Amino acid sequence: MIRKKVPFLILIAALHLLILNNLFSQTPKYIKTIVVDAGHGGSKDPGAIGQYENSLRSQEKDVTLAISLKLVAELRKQLPGVNIVPTRTTDIYQDPREKARIANEAKGDLFLCIHADSGPLKQGRRQIGTRTVTRHKITYTGKGKKKKKIRTSYEVEEPVYEYFKLPLTRSGTSVWIFAAHKTSDKLKAIMDGDENFEIETGGVDSVENSLDFKTPEGRTIAAIYAKRYQERSDRLATMVNEEIEATGRPALGVNQRQKGIWVLQATNMPAILIETGFINNPDDEKYINSEKGQQELASAITEAVKRYKAQVENTNYTPPTKTDITGKKITATPADFEKREIKDAKTIMVNNSTVKIDLYDDGEIDNDIVSVYFNKSLIFDKKPLTASAQSFNIELVPGKTNELVLYADNLGNIPPNTALMVITDGTERHEVRLSADLKNNASIRFELKNKN
């Protein structure tokens, strides 16, 4: 860029802003490098620790490493052309500056930080016995000079308590992006970056691709980048949240921390931080420490990255077709699913976390077609109800409301749509009659009996 006198600088900067904004909106940004950061690390920085009574005492740094390794493997498998750079693959300590430096030096196009959440724990107490203590009572006799003090001892039983930390009730996965008011820090990260910072100009001569961010024009452009990064971080974060929601886990949305998150601001690229679960919540702690949970999280994040990549690169991406238990392709959730009311709701207490469901038409066979959703995922798509059973198993999530919803795809010949559901819970058997129509869904909530 040729230097001109001051008034022209403003003009040039404004022009640049216009041109770049235009280029940004039309030119795809290719995702060539993705940096995955396993939060915390080493004995110096274990992160949060499971501290409630009977917790697994797991440490955040180990959980983040395990999930990150699975995420790196999944991303490499699903996006073979993309360079996936982990900040660490072993239990080593890294200063946040070190993590940001790795990401910036790798010239990442995305920065994914894996963490686990925690919250303040309340103290609980329980009586573990009693002890005998001696107390004294003082009484007086007589009056005036004859007044005498009498001390009598007596014994009392008093409870002995044991104190412990109560588990956190909050659970779920949340996604964080750098706060809007922290864009100046992001701007600094951009300006401190490579002097020959690469700008996607979509075929424009490469000479124009180098910019000095120390110049006023450069500052303007860096500001556009900071804004653009925030917008892109938000877009990716939203997709991650959606994919988490699709797994049936509580998805706590996209958040901006007022305090700011240093590592997200210090990186010269769109960046998100995923709090995979609460280490001090028993269900979450088990989930983020399990192979199944870690893989589910890695797959959900990968799916979100694939969607994001396709969107910014302007390519088509069709999410994998999901099939129901019978192998039939699942179509999208009907638009009116949420709009329908639940009139017929039942609650069933069960002993086992796996229960078998057999679904029949109740009464006359009249071509009733139904779909079944379990914890909002479609498990059974547009099946006719007949006299012979449609059977499937459901896996209940402990400590959660497990809801099975019957959705009527038609009314059959004799409205409403009625189904007989036989629930096999170990040796116990429940028969439930459900009724749904085009305005109402039927629901069964399963509650796991406490085995203690």
Q: Which residues bind Zn ion (CB under 5 A)?
A: 39, 47, 115
Of 39 and 218, which CB lies nearer to Zn ion in the complex structure?
39
Of 115 and 186, which CB lies nearer to Zn ion in the complex structure?
115
Closest distance of CB 277 from Zn ion, Å: 12
Closest distance of CB 296 from Zn ion, Å: 20
Closest distance of CB 194 from Zn ion, Å: 28
Closest distance of CB 63 from Zn ion, Å: 10
| Closest of 164, 175, 52, 66 to residue 117, by C-alpha | 175
Of 62 and 303, which CB lies nearer to Zn ion in the complex structure?
62
Of 41 and 47, which CB lies nearer to Zn ion in the complex structure?
47
Of 61 and 383, which CB lies nearer to Zn ion in the complex structure?
61
Question: 3-state secondary structure string, the chain?
Answer: CCCCCHHHHHHHHHHHHHHHHHHHHHCCCCCCEEEEEECCECCCECCCECCCCCCCCCEHHHHHHHHHHHHHHHHHHHCCCCEEEECCCCCCCCCHHHHHHHHHHCCCCEEEEEEEECCCCCEEEEEEEEEEEEEEEEEEECCHHHCEEEEEEEEEEEEEEEEEECCCCCCCEEEEECCHHHHHHHHHHHHHCCCCCCCCCCCCCHHHHCCCCCCHHHHHHHHHHHHHHHHHHHHHHHHHHHHHHHCCCCEEEEEECCCCCHHHHCCCCCEEEEEEEECCCHHHHHHHHCHHHHHHHHHHHHHHHHHHHHHHHCCCCCCCCCECCCCCECCCCCCCCCCCEEEEEEEEEECCCEEEEEEEECCCCCCCEEEEEECCEEEEEEEECCCCCEEEEEECCCCCCEEEEEEECCCCCCCCEEEEEEEEECCEEEEEEEEECCCEEEEEEEEECCCC
Closest distance of CB 109 from Zn ion, Å: 23
The answer to whether 42 touches 94, Cβ cutoff 8 Å, is: yes
Closest distance of CB 60 from Zn ion, Å: 5
Of 60 and 437, which CB lies nearer to Zn ion in the complex structure?
60
Of 104 and 276, which CB lies nearer to Zn ion in the complex structure?
276
Of 39 and 50, which CB lies nearer to Zn ion in the complex structure?
39
Closest distance of CB 133 from Zn ion, Å: 46
Of 39 and 41, which CB lies nearer to Zn ion in the complex structure?
39
Q: Which residue's C-beta sits nearest to Zn ion?
A: 115
Closest distance of CB 48 from Zn ion, Å: 6
Of 39 and 86, which CB lies nearer to Zn ion in the complex structure?
39
Phi and psi at 265, nearest 5°, equal -85, -25
Closest distance of CB 416 from Zn ion, Å: 50
Closest distance of CB 39 from Zn ion, Å: 4
Q: Residue 417 pairs with which residues in a beta bridge?
A: 436
